[in-house]
Structures are given as C-alpha cells and as structure tokens.
Amino acid sequence: MEVEIIKAKGAGEDTSTGRKIDRLRVAAYCRVSTDDEDQIKSYNSMVRYYTDLIKSNKQWVFAGVFADKAITGTKTDKREEFQLLIQECLSGNIDLVIAKSIPRFARNTLDTLKYVRMLRERNIAVYFEVEKINTLKDGEFLLTILSSVAQQEVENTSAYVKKGLKMKMKRGELVGFQGCLGYDYDVVTKSLSINEEGAETVRYIFDRYVAGAGSTMIARELNEQGIPTIKGNPWTSSSVMGIINNEKYKGDILLGKTFTVDPISKRRLENLGEEDRFYIKNHHEPIISEEKFARAQEIRERRNGGRKKGVAPGKREKFSRQYAFSCMLECGFCGANLSRRRWHSSSKYTKTIWQCVESTKHGKRFCPDSKGIPEQVIEDAFIESYRMLCTDHKDVLEEFIKRVEKTLSEDSIEDKIEKLNRSVYNIQYKRKKLLENYLEGVVAKDIYEETDVGYEKKLSEAKTQLSMLEQQYDNEGSLQRRLADFRKALSKNQILEEFDRGIFESIIEKVIVGGYDENGEKDPYKIIFVYKTGFKNEIGNAKERFGKKSKAVEKAKEMCSHIVDEVKDVCSYVSDNTESLLRSKAWE
C-alpha cells in the first residue's frame, strides 16, 4: 500500500477563491462611544495610527480605516462603519482586520463570536492588538472568555450608572428631562421655569378637558388654531392625553417612569413596579392647580372605566361622551350598536344619521333589515316620548326623583369628607412625630426616609380623594337644585320644546331602533325608549312621523345631541357633571 502525500497550500494562498495572495489587503476598525473632546481626540489619533501602520508595512495593502464615532459597542446594528466593514469583507475585498481590542470590536459576546466565525469561514482574520489574538491561528476558547469579560464590564458599568441615577433621584435631582411644553429647562441649575407661551396651551387643554371636551376634539381645535406640539408636529388624541397625564403641570415630578431591561439590547419599558420610582411634590412652579389636575384625572379614569382591571367588558361608564346617543342606540334586528355617520358631508345636502355597525362595517348582508335613521328623528321622537310620559305616566318620573333623593339622603358625602379630614390630620401628626424621633436620634435615617415617603404617599392620595369628594359635594348641591326644578316643571306638566341631553341621559337606559310592528311587519324606523325604571315607550314609523321637518330649520342649528366647539352655547352639554352624577346616583 502506497500513500501519496499532498502538500498543504501555502499560507499566502486563499483556499476559498484559489487566489494567490502576494500582499494582504488589511483594514482597521476603531470606535469611540461618546463625542466629548477627549474621546474625539482619541478617535482622530486611532485613525491616523492605523493608516500609518498599514501603509508602512510593505507586505500589506491599505484597504481603509472604518471608524464609528459616538456609537455604543453593545449593538452592532447601530454602527454603520462596522456594517460597511463586514460587507467589504464578505465581498472579498479584505483579508485581515485589525482592532485595538475586543471591547473596541464589540462588547457583546454573541456579536463578537458571530462576526469572527463569519469572517473565519471566508479565511479572513481579525487581529486584536491588546489581547494579541489572531482568530485564524488562535482557538475560540480564549476569545470567548475575553469577550465575556468585555460584556461583563458593560453590565457592571450599567449597574453603577443605574445606581448613581437612583441616588440622584432619591435626592430629588431632575434626571433624564426630555423637554416639556410650558416649561424651560436650565441645564446649569437643572431647574424648570414656566414658559408662558406654552403654558397658555397647557391651560387651554386642561380647561377644555375639565369642561367635558374629549382629547380628539381638543386636538382638532389646537390644529385649527395653528398651535403645534413642542416638537412642531400636529396634535393628536394621544399627545393631548400626554399633557393631561403629566404630573409636572401641577408642580410635582415622577422619576423612574421607564427602565432599561438590559445594557445589551437597551430596550426600555414602562416601569410598572419592576424598579423603584421617586415622586417629588412641589418640585417646581405649577401651571395647573392641584384641584384642576385631580379633576382631570377623575374624568380620565371614569372615561377609561371599561379598560380598568375588574370591570366587565362592555360596561364602560357613559361619561362626557361627544354625542348623547353614543353607546345608547341598539339595533332591534341584530342587537349591535348604532354608530354616527355623515351623509353628503361635502355638499349642502349633508345629513347626520345613525346606522347599525354590523351593516356598515361588515356589509349589508349581516343586518339586511336595518336602515340609517336621521339624528333629528331620534331627537324629535324622544321629545314626543317625554311628552307622553309627562301626560300619561307621571308616576314613572316621580319614582325616578324619589330614587335619587333616597340615594342622596343615604349616601352622605359630608360624612366621607369629615372622615378623610380626620385621616389627613392623623397622617400629618404621625409625620411630625416621626421627624421629632429622627431629630432626637430615636429613629435611624434610612428608616425615617422610607417611612416618611410612605406617609407622604398616603397624604397625597387622601388629599386627592378629598378634593374629588368636595367637587362631588358641590355637584350634589347642583343636583338637588336641578331636582327641585325638575319637580316644579313636572307639577306644571311642562313639555320639552327641544331636545335636552341632560334629561335624555338622566332617564333613558337605552334606545332600540328597528323591529316589528303589531302585525309582524318589519319596521326599521320603529323606536323603543327604555327608561331606567323599566318603563318602555314605543313609537312606530318614526321617520314618517318626524322626518318631514324643514331642511332650513335643520340646517340653521347644530344637532343638540352633538357637543360642538363652543361648549357654553350647546343646549345638550352636560355642565358640572350634574347629569352624569344624577345617572350614577339613581341607577348604580
């Protein structure tokens, strides 16, 4: 048996291409992570150093210096020059890459190994000067250990930085401020001062929101007035709610709203309790009073009631809605809700109608018997139903008024206010005693700070709740006056001359549109008003009966069930939340 030895090819030949390598095409990679003056000098020095190093070696061909400035080393996808270097390597234009050290190449172990292996498969070496590692000649074990050390260094640095930031937050220092409409930030003193131009916009948003306008309406008004956001963009519903939810406008500040998941991915998430948060009261001059801010939060929470934990789906509280009929109209054929639509909106024949959502969203075949019914017809039908109620079924309204009065007498807000006032006094007394014990040396500093933060949080919550109850107490006084007027009007057998949103929402549970008449024939314009006492009132063929009003009259006024921009001029506007309180008190 004869064995023939086939000699290995020389080191100067590329086995992947068969190309004879006379001189290595060498490129260098360098990176600095910040743009401060010292780092920029280091960056420029490294570029000159590698350019001279490669060009001075007669066995090398200069293939370029790839350098990233002020870019993190934990994520390679953010480094354009690094990606360009890899692309040049994969295109066969580079034989050797020089880097000062593993951390300069990549601080992520997985990225380091990924790209080293990718290049090694193409017979391209990476040489790390500090560690003296050539990836084609040296094993991967040492590289793995050293790159893991580099990653661990990043994680340790991140932990130190995070700890330092938390200590600053604990001392009440402003950290990570990104700009805020209505405030100017002084970089030197790290303090906030009111910018009156932006503050006017903030006050407008809160005033309109507390008055009952929704975020979409407020955004539209601001855009129509040509007022941009702090970034110069048009307003949207979410940007308006960002103002409403921002505690800075009442002079407080919450630090630690978000946190970094890990220093490698740098992914940030909303802090829902995973990390400590720091709430600082009276940090700066407020733009909005604490009472108005608390009122806005109460409205926001009630509007979002259906999305809260523990609330049954579909049970969102009907509060300060843009239209009186929203979530109140039900299709008599399929049971779905009716939505508001505008026909011929771009012409003089514009008309507002309500139509089954199954038909409009999924197609007529899903609810073939339903038809669009004009908003004016529903309003006029309610006026007629209310007239019939006052004339023939006055006992229904009497029962309604008695229920509200009974609820008011049983559920005294005055008692709750008195109880909360006692609670506020007790918390303040405990904080005072705690401070005295700390000053006398009885309580350690860390225990004092932790306990005092707890007391401060309880005190803030109690004061907020107290403010809400006082507002509710004022509303109850308004409600009692309204009940008196309601009873007086009822005794005189008065009827409605035009649609009144407050009365409608106070006594109507829902409205069923469409159904069958007494002969079993389909009537898409049949309207059934279901009152909150259980009483029902049917009006058949409502479109025929109420749909012949003069178009001039309809065009002359805005629908009363629609909250338009000028809130004070709208007859169906729910002022001071009286009607909403009326509904919740009587039927909860």
Q: How confident is the model at residue 562 (pLDDT cuts 50, 70, 90)?
A: very low
Q: Residue 110 pLDDT more than 70?
A: no
Rg from Cα positions in the chain? 36
Q: What is the pLDDT of residues 121-172, one digit of tens each?
A: 888 999 988 888 888 887 666 666 656 665 666 666 667 677 777 777 777 6
Q: How confident is the model at residue 571 (pLDDT cuts 50, 70, 90)?
A: very low
How far is Cα 471 from Cα 413, in angstroms, rounded to an integer? 10
What is the four-CA torsion angle of 206, 211, 217, 223, rounded to 10 degrees? Answer: -50
Q: What is the pLDDT of residues 41-68, one digit of tens each?
A: 778 888 889 999 999 999 999 999 998 8
Global pTM value: 0.36
CA 139 to chain centroid: 51
Q: What is the pLDDT of residues 397-421, one digit of tens each?
A: 666 666 555 544 444 566 777 788 8
Q: What is the pLDDT of residues 276-308, one digit of tens each?
A: 787 888 888 899 998 899 989 888 887 775 444
Q: How long, in residues, is the chain? A: 588
For residue 116, the model assigns a pLDDT of: 84
For residue 315, the model assigns a pLDDT of: 36
For residue 373, the model assigns a pLDDT of: 92
Q: Which residue has the higher pLDDT, 33 or 246?
A: 246
CA pseudo-torsion sign 422, 428, 431, 436: negative
Mean local confidence (pLDDT), 4-23: 61
Q: What is the pLDDT of residues 310-330, one digit of tens each?
A: 333 333 333 445 678 888 899
Q: What percent of the chain has pLDDT over 90?
A: 15
Mean pLDDT, the chain, integer: 75
How far is Cα 94 from Cα 87, in angstroms, rounded to an integer? 10
Cβ neighbors of 50 (< 8 A, separation 6 or more) are 28, 30, 65, 98
Q: Which residue has the higher pLDDT, 113 or 381?
A: 381
Q: Which residue has the higher pLDDT, 414 or 480?
A: 414
Q: Residue 2 pLDDT more than 90?
A: no
Q: How confident is the model at residue 346 (pLDDT cuts 50, 70, 90)?
A: low
Q: Residue 585 pLDDT more than 50?
A: no
Least reliable range by pLDDT among 73-87, 165-179, 385-399, 487-501:
487-501
Q: Hey, which of 425-429, 490-494, 578-582 has the most confident mean pLDDT?
A: 425-429
For residue 314, the model assigns a pLDDT of: 37
How far is Cα 226 from Cα 235, in angstroms, rounded to an integer? 10
Instruction: Let me know: does 488 contact 406? Beta carbons within 8 Å.
Output: no
Q: What is the pLDDT of residues 192-250, one digit of tens each?
A: 888 888 899 999 999 888 887 888 889 888 998 888 888 888 898 888 998 998 888 99
Largest CA distance in the chain: 126
Cβ neighbors of 81 (< 8 A, separation 6 or more) are 29, 31, 66, 67, 68
Q: Residue 259 pLDDT more than 60?
A: yes
